[in-house]
Amino acid sequence: MRLPVAPPVAPMLAKLARELPTGEGLLYEPKWDGFRCLVFRDGDELLLQSRNERPLDRYFPELPEPLRDRLPSRCVVDGEIVIATGHGLDFDLLSLRIHPAASRVAKLAAETPASYVAFDLLAEDDEDLRGVAFGERRRRLEAALARARPPVLLTPATTDPAVAADWFERFEGAGLDGVVVKALDGAYRPGERAMVKVKHQRSADCAVAGFRWHKDGEGVGSLLLGLYDRRGVLHHVGVAAGLPERLRRALLDDVEPYRVGLAGHPWAGWSGADPQAPPAGRMPGGPSRWNAART
């Protein structure tokens, strides 16, 4: 690829706020519950890059063709991959895509195809737009996606905080995490928390049913959380991740007395032996990299 912005690029991030900021010069967007994805296109060459600067192409084989059809021939776009169902966005269906078997990924792509929601333009033709004010980047993005249609979409945006507050309340539970707030005069700052996100707050007392090793092999990378339904079935509901190094090592000592084999564990289907395991037995990211624990 010969683009003015070459991969990999660390995406610009957001810092958490508890209340919706107001004032002049702000743009509000829905916060999508999906996989962050930067798209690099140079003619027929296309690269989908994750938030962690890794390729996503093999997990979403249904997206390259519509992206080539609807994006400018040479560009870098920031956005989110989502899967929409009749009940809203489904993050668990996205997580199932991170699977080592191409046949499994292809089957899921046909059954529950993904969409791409664009919200920023980092480059177009030979122009690096990262130093350009976001208001102008947004205008250019709208022009670039003027003929876009599903599964490639342009995120809604508003300068009216009342509309943003309505989004925040009305779309809770539909797969939208909250609202993202951006300064119209702001540059694109890779890897920095230069935006603001206001997220819905929910709490639950969860069972810790397992953990994943950290990518460096030292300590706990994330805890696998579950909730029991009325039938006593333990459902995976999320992870606790982003742990500081000191806590990762301390947690390893804490979970050691509870480590057990997969035999008899309610999520034993994640061992990879049964790719058709029921929803209660599914886990994103590859079952061979987790350890069971008594709940």
Beta strands in 24-138 (DSSP E): 26-32, 35-42, 45-50, 74-82, 84-85, 88-89, 115-124, 127-128
Sign of CA dihedral 98, 99, 105, 109: negative
167-170: list long-range contacts, CB under 8 Å, 24+ apart: 167/28, 167/30, 168/20, 168/198, 168/200
Which conformational region is residue 66 in: left (phi greater than 0), alpha (psi within -120 to 50 degrees), or beta? alpha
* 107 classed as catalytic: no
Neighbours of 55 (CB within 10 A): 12
Nearest residue to 26 via CA among 135, 163, 178, 121 = 135
- Rounded distance, CA 195 to CA 189, Å? 9
What is the spatial distance between Cα 283 and Cα 287, in angstroms, rounded to a whole number? Answer: 7
Residue 269, SS3 per DSSP: helix
CA separation for the pair 144, 124 (Å, rounded): 9
Secondary structure, 3-state, 127-155: EECCCCCHHHHHHHHHHHCCCCCCCEEEC
Distance CA 158, CA 156 (A): 7
State the catalytic residue, choosing from 31, 107, 182, 197: 31
Catalytic residues: 31
